[in-house]
Amino acid sequence: MKKDNYIWLSPPDMDGKELSYIEEAFTTNWLTTSGNNINAFETEMQTFLNTKKEVVMLNSGTSAIHLALIQLGVKEGDEVLCQSLTFVGSVNPILYQKANPIFIDSEPETYNLCPKLLEEAIIDRLHKGKQPKAIIVVHLYGVPAKMDHIITISKKYNIPIIEDAAEALGATYKKQHCGTLTDFGIFSFNGNKIITTTSGGALICNNKKLKAQAVKLATQSKENEQFYQHKQIGYNYRISNVLAGIGRGQLKSLNAKLLALKANHLFYKQLFASSVNIELVSKYNPNIQPNYWLNYIRVRKESKRTNFEILKHLEARGIQARPIWKPMHLQPLFKNNKFYGNHVAEDLYQNGLCLPSGSNLTLSDKKRIKEALHLFL
Ligand SMILES: *Cc1c(COP(=O)(O)O)cnc(C)c1O
Average pLDDT rounded to a whole number, residues 327-356:
98
Residue 312 has pLDDT above 70, yes or no: yes
Region 343-367: mean pLDDT is 98
Cα(23)–Cα(263) distance, integer angstroms:
33
Residue 120 CB-density burial (10 A; 0-12 exposed, 13-18 middle, 19+ buried) = middle
Distance 246 CA to ligand 1 centre (A): 18
Nearest CA residue ID for atom 2, ligand 1: 166
Which atom number of ligand 1 is nearest to the Cα of residue 199? Answer: 7
pLDDT tens, position by position, 213-224: 999 999 999 999
pLDDT band with cut points at 50, 70 and 90 for residue 1:
very low
Ligand 1 pocket, mutate which of 164, 243, 293, 325 (most atoms under 8 A from CB): 164
Average pLDDT over residues 195-203: 98
Band of residue 4 on the pLDDT scale cut at 50, 70, 90: confident
Distance from Cα 374 to the centre of ligand 1, integer Å: 33
pLDDT tens-place string over residues 76-121 = 999 999 999 999 999 999 999 999 999 999 999 999 999 999 999 9
Average pLDDT value for residue range 133-156: 98
Q: Is 93's C-beta closer than 6 angstroms to any atom of ligand 1?
A: no
Task: Tell me the pLDDT tens digit for each residue of 224-281.
Answer: 999 999 999 999 999 999 999 999 999 999 999 999 999 999 999 999 999 999 999 9
Mean pLDDT, the chain, rounded, equals 97
Confidence class for position 3, pLDDT limits 50, 70, 90: low
Phi, psi values for residue 167, rounded to 5°: -105, 5
